[in-house]
Chain A
């Protein structure tokens, strides 16, 4: 599904990601955990084509996408739900979802998918004509995920979906992530909350200062003493 080989991303002279290699298999939920500044977000941005890639290769469904423009990468089935949600504040909830399906021309099934998002997040249905900027943080996160789903992605990338949310809302959001995973959506999840991420994921990569420090099955990493000490504060 997704294969990254030796990816290096540099902003000016600073290398945010250094020689990262990782892969995601169809249907998997893979998580990237690590501290602030470890290069998690930059990795996702590189996959989406919005970060300056210095070297390395990104292959999606057997096709190299390293140098493709962001819209072409979306067209190849990647949906990026960015950190901080970044909903379109002065569009309504409904308009946000419709813009999520910007590249699709199949009006009827777009409407079906909007209904599916509303079924997934009933709160959004209640607020469908409300401006997205007036939603609570949790609702905005739901909208951001719903908007990402609107392109019928083959790979859904979620960046810090728990950021700044109350524990109860985080639970609900992760419930939906589990549900999507169970439905067979391939997910690449970036999280600072390592414990939470490792409990839902199949496999995980631990990033440290731009490099892959550890990789393996999530269940094993959660018991790894090194991980426990550094990321689970146990």
Chain B
């Protein structure tokens, strides 16, 4: 059997296993834990897709919250029930008022719009590299937020959008997480992925071998934005209420920490980073309240510990837990 066929079959087996575990979780855990689980799925999507730009291509983008916001608002506006739209959004164009899209197409539309915006801003922004690119993408986040705050007819400004259908759950978020992992893994192991890594390792040598820099980086940037948009849509329909301030720098920071702690340039590292750093704050939050026995709970402790953890990883293991390597799942074979 060819290695790739074998890996595909083993991969399918793992997905079935994951499905079984999710089913078990669904039937035993309470809503609180199911919500955390769903958030883990969303964070996996965000971290793995961010890895494509920041880890593999070497373009340190901080635009993730902006793309999430675009995906969340787009999907929300599509999926809201018609009655709510007419009541809360009198200024919305008529064609949009008349539809209440199912969750899947709304999610995909959110991803596509985020990718479209990425393609648009990518042309000027991807002329920059390194720190300059990071700052420029940070600017994008500010712009999106200001637009969301002031485009009253469509976003209801700072009041946000409430009462979204609560359709998001572990099945959706993990389903999309599996798709994200599969897509990113396929890209990374294709000539396009090698070109991305080549751009990261040495742009001059990559160019001298015929790699088109802008096109390669753009591909990573837009695909990453697509999945960030999808994650935004999933998140919006999990929380069921969004405001412009939902998509702040804190989200970007958290995802970047997950990526860095897991190890940039490693998909398994991203997954592990996302799982660990979603569970850890939840666990620490319980410590916060437990410490409250004498007086008020020690709020903020978990954030401080996460930030410290990030700093420690930077000092002692800068390459992250996985250091760019992949953990090969049992049963899978090395690809050529």
Contacts and interface: CB of A to CB of B under 8 A. Distances in A.
B66 to A, nearest CB: 29
Contact of B197 (A80, A91, A147): A91
B269 interface: no
A119 interface: no
B194 A98 contact: yes
A190 to B, nearest CB: 14
Shortest 8 CB-CB contacts between residues of A and residues of B: A74-B210, A86-B205, A88-B201, A80-B208, A103-B210, A70-B207, A86-B202, A99-B194
Interface size bucket, B side?
A: 20 to 34
A95 B193 CA distance: 11
A89 B208 contact: no
The listed residue with most A CB atoms (<10 A of its CB), out of B207, B265, B336, is B207
A102 interface: yes
Given A86-B202, A90-B201, A91-B198, A71 B207 contact: yes
- Interface hub of A87, A94, A99 (most chain B Cβ within 10 A): A99
B209 A100 contact: yes
Contacts of B211: 71, 99, 102
A82 B207 CA distance: 11
Given A86-B205, A91-B201, 9 more contacts: A69-B212, A74-B208, A80-B208, A87-B205, A90-B197, A95-B194, A95-B197, A98-B194, A99-B211
Nearest to B201: A88
Contacts of A90: 197, 200-201, 265, 324
A89 B336 CA distance: 18
Contacts of B265: 90
Contacts of A86: 202, 204-205
A102 B213 CA distance: 13
A81 B191 CA distance: 20
Contacts of A50: 204, 207-208
B210 A89 contact: no
Contacts of B208: 48, 50, 70, 74, 79-82, 148
Contact of B191 (A69, A71, A80, A102): A102
A70 B210 CA distance: 6
B201 A151 contact: no
Interface of A: 48, 50, 69-71, 74-75, 79-82, 86-91, 94-95, 98-100, 102-103, 144, 147-148, 150-151
B220 interface: no
Contact of A151 (B195, B198, B200, B209): B209
A70 B212 CA distance: 8
A147 B209 contact: yes
A74 B206 CA distance: 11
A99 B198 contact: yes
Contact of B210 (A75, A82, A94): A75
Contacts of B209: 74, 79, 99-100, 102, 147-148, 150-151
Contacts of A91: 194, 197-198, 201
Contacts of A79: 208-209
Contacts of A95: 194, 197
B201 A89 contact: yes
Contacts of A81: 208
